[in-house]
Structure 1
Amino acid sequence: MSRPVREPATTPAPGEALSRRALMLAIGALLLGMLLAALDQTIVSTALPTIVSELGGMEHLSWVVTAYLLASTAATPLWGKLGDQYGRKKLFQTAIVIFLAGSALCGVAQDMPQLIAYRALQGLGGGGLMVLSMAIVGDLVSPRDRGRYQGLFGAVFGATSVLGPLLGGLFTDHLSWRWVFYINLPVGIIALFVIAAVLHLPVRGTRHTIDYLGTFLIASVATCLVLVASLGGSTWPWASAQVIGLAVLGAVLLAAFVLVERRAAEPVLPLKLFGNRTFTLVSAISFVIGFAMFGAMTYLPTFLQVVQGVSPTLSGVHLLPMVVGILLTSTASGQIVSRTGRWKVFPVAGTALTTVGLLLLHLMEQDSGVWEVSAYFFVFGAGLGLVMQVLILVAQNSVAYEDLGVATSGVTFFRSIGAAFGVAVFGTLFTNRLTGELAAALAGQEVPPDADAQAIAADPRAIGLLPPGLRAAALTAYSTSITDVFLYASPVVVLAFAVSLFLKEDRLRASVTAPDPSETYASNPVERSSYDECARALSVLGSREGRKAVYEKITARAGLDLAPAASWLLLRIRRHGTVEPARLAETTPVPLRTVIEASRQVEERGMARREGLDLMLTDRGVEAATLLARAREESLAELLGDWWGPDRPTDLIQLVEELTAELNGSVRERPGQ
């Protein structure tokens, strides 16, 4: 188990060690790091058809995406725990270097196997960028203020979802597909130097018993699963010894993983979670959503560019309705659920709408109009978005506090594995269908030797070598092969719809809020402790309430007849011992007039007295300030529901005390984790 290391007395609280300018520079560098990792999940999609045309190997297209997904998913828990144990700054710099090395190598790749291997290296670094950037924010910023900074990271994810496909198309059209990877280098180098210069983290450490074997085994199981899906029926027959051997190996490794996890001190995926019915159902739905989302996103640009003749840049533009649909409905559903407590309708409606979206995508043809295709894309994206935010909310709501972190990471883990599996399955279905359709279309026809069915399947540019009469037939073969994949995928999402009907709508805890976009807008798994996840949720609630509303609430709870500003002033005096009202107005956003009125009220009530220009508390004021502090602590505890039980953990108690102390103006250190 994790054993907190006692911090030195001089350890600063989050944010204290840095000046405002240094803090913003550090946050900016972290945003750049996350931008790199988030962008690389979307920027490649519109460049893939060109990459395949130049390097050859359409049957390997899916692995350009899958290699990145598998590597980042497997590395995520290790980055998180190693960062806790050995210091996040050094690990973050290491992740940047690995990511940049992978990017540079991807840019110089000469064939598809090289590119796939280098994408895996990139994924190893990308997993660290995702996990550690958010973790470092927790070291720099107090829990009360995290909600504000999470908005910045959310904006990055929203921007990469929109800009990624566009930038991929622009680089491919006007420079080269290699610039999709080269662009990471200057951005990453800037982030690396800024982090080295300005990031000075508090000295902390948490010893972990890292589950290396469990991580290796689950990554191996996922790899076997994806290899069977991508190679079976294409490279090797389904009944071949190779495919059967991979399936058996995957089963053996899965059994070994179960045995290892039962004995692991800190399992990468605690098996007890699967005793929770809601978590198990949510994980299954999350797997399917990842499957549908990334499978479709990988092959839609191929349809647009090859079948409809759209440029890489315009294919990115055409994908925007899908991205907008995801962003709109994911944000709206998360906010509605957080405020109303009702959630079951969203996974049910979302999986149903996603199924409809896949069936609509199946209807696309070579001459489908822009508005028609855009409408289909939007429906598909809207369906995905309805489910993505809510699944994490439901999982968090179903577990005890000590399992909050692993439940969140578990759901996002299954979505990432589903994404890798989906890309592989879509690729296998597409490749098998394409070869057969092209062979049928060109059968008995005279075609150039370098434009036969195999050549066209490997390089779409070979279609241009065909006579005009056969060109349309080849394009129809491509169109049918891609759109049929969406039809074949729809029963899988129907299964997720059926599973969602069995979800039990338990009452939502007040402290369970919409997850930040890093958990939903991308395929990245999340690695966060229960403390961090709870601090994030409470900070979101605190920022939503607003400072004035908070003081109104705690004043009423304390049974005091005071203006909110008077309560705020009492707690400020309690912190500093004495305050000068005029000086306080200069150093806080509270107007001078409000401070003067608050000062007059506490003096008239006998809660403070003057000593020159300063105010200090009387005995009555000390009693009132104590009541206010206690009221805030109780109101926070109330939000936690049954997590705040008789056996509540120490770190949860410390979190509530820390947030209370921040509101009261005092500073407390965050406990080591």
Structure 2
Amino acid sequence: MEDFIKEKKMKRPLVLVAVMLGMFLAAIEATIVATAMPSIVADLGGFSLYSWVFSAYLLTNAATVLIFGKLSDIFGRKPIFVIGVTIFLTGSTLSGFSTSMVMLIISRFIQGIGAGALMPIATTIVGDIYNKEERAKIQGYLASVWGISAVSGPLLGGFFVDILNWRYVFWMNIPLGILAMLGIIFFLREDIKKKRSSIDYAGAIWIVVSVFSLMFILVEGGVSIAWNSFVMVGLIGTTIIGLVLFFYQERRASVPMMPFDIWKIRIITVANLTSLTTGMILIGVSSYLPAFVQGVMGYSATIAGFTLTTMSIGWPIAATVAGKLLLVIGYRNTSLLGGVSLIIGGILFFLLTPEKGPIWAGTGSFFIGVGMGLTNTSFIVGIQSTVGFETRGVATAANMFMRSLGSALGVALLGGLLNGKINTFIENEGLADRISVDSANKLLDPHQNASLTEQAKLVLQEGLTSGLHLVYTGILVLALISFILINFMPKKENE
């Protein structure tokens, strides 16, 4: 027995490396793809579908994260992790071979399903193989994954776009994913006693149906689908019915996907609602800042990547500082500092103009990153300190689910605002018969840019500028809402 434990301990560093590689794949996805998106839409077209590339990934990620967590409890971490990486790499491969925006969106759906297994199971594996005293140190390593991926993502994205091709943004996942799988297969040892347990598939289906319908409303409403059309009425009805059936299912399920009992604890309610809004802020900055820097300011993909890198630097630094602040001023005050930083970042984006340049944009991005680092660390520590061991996993997963859901809804809502604004500019200038929202693709490609008439170029640029300003106004509003919600956090852990 002692030999087995000793052997297992010798394997733990290799398991940790494999886990960190898996987390890196999921963590880098947002920033690296965001940097490449202007080039992707310039190549494939379909600017009106811009936000769906993110929404597709985030939707399936959010919908499957709790299911994979439950499956890993039944069948073990190893097989579910391997399945998750396999699905993720399948989606990555197909994304790289995409010949149209629709194919890319479908591939991102597949990739998101796999990502739903990577983050929660990687975190769970660490909890399984390290004791309580060791986890604090290991969490520092895991936090560094976010920092490294967040810093390298925009830079790698810019490099692939400017030097190679945007397709390598997806193909780079393949060797890393294979290494992560091999590490878990060969070095992780499990002694799983399989048990019968129900899985709330119905709950997952209803939340996907309702969120998917809501995303369609937010993105396409008033653009390709008229507000007073039969299709829009059907989408609204589907959203409402899906949500009602989801709540009904969760109340009757023996093991619900989203247990409502934990929502009776005030800190969990406040943290989850705030995670929903901060998730929307995060995706709003990550998705549309490169489009502003490239399409409006006229800078390269590498420069656009730099403006996101500053957010990525601020996040891990703030998360590290938050760990020390929590012990001194508590999680509520630490969260409030994060809320203030989000507001500062929101104000900087609200005031952003093409003349202010990438340094201004990067500064706003940095403050958003600091706010995310302070609030997210405070939320997780606060939640895990409030609940017992038996509900700690589901409480943490629920918070992760809300942030993913916020990101999915945020990119749809903000994308809808952007498309609607560009469409309004085109119609007001009487150019609807010559250009469309998708013509904004050409602003993002120097070669195609030359094919636009001066009038069309001016209208599209003004529409994109005005639309992105509306997006940044939305980010500021969400930052203010987040700060208001944080004020309702309990001052003591036992409240």
TM surpasses 0.5: yes
2:374 corresponds to 1:386: yes
Q: Report the counterpart of residue 466 of structure 1 in structure 2.
A: 452
Instruction: Report deviation, 1:69.
Output: 1.0
Q: For residues 499 and 453 of structure 1, what CA distance do their matches in structure 2 show? A: 39
2:45 to 39, 56, 78: 56
| CA 1:453–1:71: 2 relative to 1, 3 Å | closer
2:406 corresponds to 1:437: no
Q: Report the counterpart of residue 485 of structure 1 in structure 2.
A: 471
| CA 1:464–1:335: 2 relative to 1, 3 Å | farther
- Spell out, residue by residue over 1:600-644, the C-alpha distance to the aligned partner (whole angstroms, 9 max, x if none): xxxxxxxxxxxxxxxxxxxxxxxxxxxxxxxxxxxxxxxxxxxxx
Q: 1:342 touches 1:508 (CA, 8 Å); kept in 2? A: no
2:172 corresponds to 1:183: yes
Instruction: Report deviation, 1:70.
Output: 1.2
Q: 2:274 touches 2:486 (CA, 8 Å); kept in 1? A: yes
2:345 corresponds to 1:357: yes
Q: For residues 347 and 288 of structure 2, what CA distance do their matches in structure 1 show? A: 15
Higher RCO (C-alpha under 8 Å, 6+ residues apart): 2
- Spell out, residue by residue over 1:351-375, the C-alpha distance to the aligned partner (whole angstroms, 9 max, x if none): 3442342232122222223433332
Could you say what secondary structure the match of 1:149 adopts? helix
| CA 1:458–1:432: 2 relative to 1, 3 Å | farther
2:356 corresponds to 1:373: no
Instruction: Report deviation, 1:119.
Output: 0.6
Q: Report the counterpart of residue 642 of structure 1 in structure 2.
A: none
2:402 to 391, 414, 418: 414
Q: For residues 253 and 457 of structure 1, what CA distance do their matches in structure 2 show? A: 34
Instruction: Report deviation, 1:477.
Output: 3.0
Q: Report the counterpart of residue 247 of structure 1 in structure 2.
A: 236
Q: Report the counterpart of residue 461 of structure 2 in structure 1.
A: 475
- Spell out, residue by residue over 1:143-193, the C-alpha distance to the aligned partner (whole angstroms, 9 max, x if none): 443333333222111101111111111111111111111111122223333
Instruction: Report deviation, 1:505.
Output: 0.9
Instruction: Report deviation, 1:467.
Output: 4.9
2:387 corresponds to 1:404: no
Q: Report the counterpart of residue 102 of structure 1 in structure 2.
A: 91
Q: 1:43 touches 1:164 (CA, 8 Å); kept in 2? A: yes
Alignment of 1:470-549 (within 5 A): 471=457, 474-507=460-493
- Superposed CA RMSD: 2.6
| CA 1:457–1:468: 2 relative to 1, 3 Å | closer
Q: Report the counterpart of residue 18 of structure 1 in structure 2.
A: 8
Q: Report the counterpart of residue 425 of structure 1 in structure 2.
A: 413
The number of residues matched between the two structures is 492
2:300 corresponds to 1:311: yes
Q: 1:18 touches 1:200 (CA, 8 Å); kept in 2? A: yes
- Using structure 1 for the length normalisation, give the TM-score: 0.68
2:328 corresponds to 1:345: no
| CA 1:238–1:358: 2 relative to 1, 3 Å | farther
Q: Report the counterpart of residue 522 of structure 1 in structure 2.
A: none
Q: For residues 53 and 502 of structure 1, what CA distance do their matches in structure 2 show? A: 45
| CA 1:286–1:12: 2 relative to 1, 3 Å | farther
Could you say what secondary structure the match of 2:124 adopts? helix
Q: Report the counterpart of residue 122 of structure 2 in structure 1.
A: 133
- Of stretches 110-119 and 134-143 in structure 1, the one that deviates more from structure 2 is 134-143
Q: For residues 278 and 82 of structure 2, what CA distance do their matches in structure 1 show? A: 32
1:295 to 281, 284, 287: 284
Instruction: Report deviation, 1:500.
Output: 2.5
- Using structure 2 for the length normalisation, give the TM-score: 0.91
Higher fraction of helix? 2
Alignment of 1:184-333 (within 5 A): 184-333=173-322
- Spell out, residue by residue over 1:6-59, the C-alpha distance to the aligned partner (whole angstroms, 9 max, x if none): xxxx6987x544362x43333222222222122222210100111111111111
| CA 1:205–1:349: 2 relative to 1, 3 Å | same
Could you say what secondary structure the match of 2:276 adopts? helix
- Of stretches 297-306 and 196-205 in structure 1, the one that deviates more from structure 2 is 196-205
Could you say what secondary structure the match of 1:368 adopts? helix
| CA 1:286–1:49: 2 relative to 1, 3 Å | same
1:156 to 145, 154, 162: 145
Q: Which amino acid aligns with 1:412?
A: M
Q: 2:147 touches 2:316 (CA, 8 Å); kept in 1? A: yes
- Spell out, residue by residue over 1:494-523, the C-alpha distance to the aligned partner (whole angstroms, 9 max, x if none): 2333233333311479xxxxxxxxxxxxxx
Q: 1:11 touches 1:202 (CA, 8 Å); kept in 2? A: no
- Spell out, residue by residue over 1:398-447, the C-alpha distance to the aligned partner (whole angstroms, 9 max, x if none): 4455433322222221111011100011111011111223454x658xx9
2:14 corresponds to 1:31: no
Q: 1:57 touches 1:459 (CA, 8 Å); kept in 2? A: no
Instruction: Report deviation, 1:455.
Output: 5.3
Q: Which amino acid aligns with 2:8?
A: L
Q: Report the counterpart of residue 122 of structure 1 in structure 2.
A: 111
Instruction: Report deviation, 1:395.
Output: 3.1
- Of stretches 44-53 and 458-467 in structure 1, the one that deviates more from structure 2 is 458-467
1:91 to 80, 90, 94: 80
Q: Report the counterpart of residue 456 of structure 1 in structure 2.
A: 439
* CA radius of gyration, larger in: 1
Q: 1:52 touches 1:61 (CA, 8 Å); kept in 2? A: yes
Q: For residues 273 and 373 of structure 1, what CA distance do their matches in structure 2 show? A: 39
| CA 1:473–1:78: 2 relative to 1, 3 Å | closer
| CA 1:479–1:122: 2 relative to 1, 3 Å | same
Q: For residues 112 and 469 of structure 1, what CA distance do their matches in structure 2 show? A: 27
Runs of 4+ in 1 over 6 A off after TM superposition: 10-13
Q: Which amino acid aligns with 2:184?
A: I
Q: For residues 203 and 453 of structure 1, what CA distance do their matches in structure 2 show? A: 56
| CA 1:443–1:322: 2 relative to 1, 3 Å | same
- Of stretches 87-96 and 196-205 in structure 1, the one that deviates more from structure 2 is 196-205
- The sequence identity of aligned pairs, in percent, is 32
1:68 to 57, 70, 80: 57
Q: 1:435 touches 1:457 (CA, 8 Å); kept in 2? A: no
Q: Which amino acid aligns with 1:452?
A: I
